[in-house]
Homo-oligomer: A and B are copies of this chain.
Amino acid sequence: MKPLILITNDDGVQSRGLQHLASLAKEFGEVVVMAPDRNASGVSVSITCTRPLRVKTVSEEEGLAIYACDGTPADCIKMGVEYFCSRKPTLVLSGINYGSNASINVVYSGTIGAVLEACLDGYQAIGFSLLNHNPQADFNACTQVIRHILQQVMQNPLPTGTALNVNIPRLPTDQIKGIRICRQAPAAWVDSLEKRTDPIGRPYWWMTGKFVCNNPGEDTDEYALAHGYASVVPIRPDYTDYAALNQIKHFES
């Protein structure tokens, strides 16, 4: 039996990035897409607890079924594996996201929220993002990197409990120098909210901000991407700061 691959994203089921990822995944197995019915960027690992969820069938063809859910990317993973996959998926993919999920963007990303959810549920999971927010972004430039990574994972499963956050630079295929394994670059978003005044004089605020990542180490995703490489960061949904466990031992009572 062919491997089953579940795919979601946070840009919504109509996204060209999702469609490109699904067409690549079809080379490796049967594909089920369960994606948000609208843009769900910035929702992190949100789950929907206060209202019920609905699912619409978009299309059901041989080897590729596409469903839209009115929940978050993490909801889509739970929904997909519990009700729309005929067997346990071999692999869960998320993306291809419009724009970077490198460095601390990983924290806010719905794309990576889905990856963390799938990892918690015991699946091999990979998020893909292209550093291009343009609606006409050329996702073909991602093909070589994604095929390489899918081939690797199909041959050698990921370590248990580890997922991957893959970011691809905004370059033509022949200018992407290769793939680098990296750690998440430390960075900050500053001046996050812009204050404006509405026509009747009341204040409101828009999320905006400037990404500041000064001198990322050579082993980070930001460094790799800035130097023409695709970055692969192994991630896991364990937020423990192991290095700090001893440093705060004096809190015990």
Cα distance, A120 to B213, chains bound together (Å): 12
Q: Which of B156, B183, B202, B238 contacts A250 (CB 8 A)?
A: B156
User: Does A200 sit at the interface, judged by CB under 8 A?
Assistant: no
Q: Mark A105-121, 1 if CB is under 8 A from B, else 0.
A: 01110001100110011
A227 to B178, CA, bound (A): 50
A20 to B134, CA, bound (A): 47
10 tightest Cβ-Cβ pairs between the two chains A and B: A234-B244, A44-B44, A234-B241, A52-B204, A44-B45, A235-B239, A236-B241, A78-B192, A162-B244, A183-B240
Question: Contact residues of A with B, CB < 8 Å?
Answer: 39, 41-50, 52-55, 74-75, 78-79, 82-83, 104, 106-108, 112-113, 116-117, 120-122, 148-149, 152, 156, 158-159, 161-162, 164-165, 178-181, 183-184, 186, 188-189, 191-193, 195-196, 202-207, 232-245, 247-253
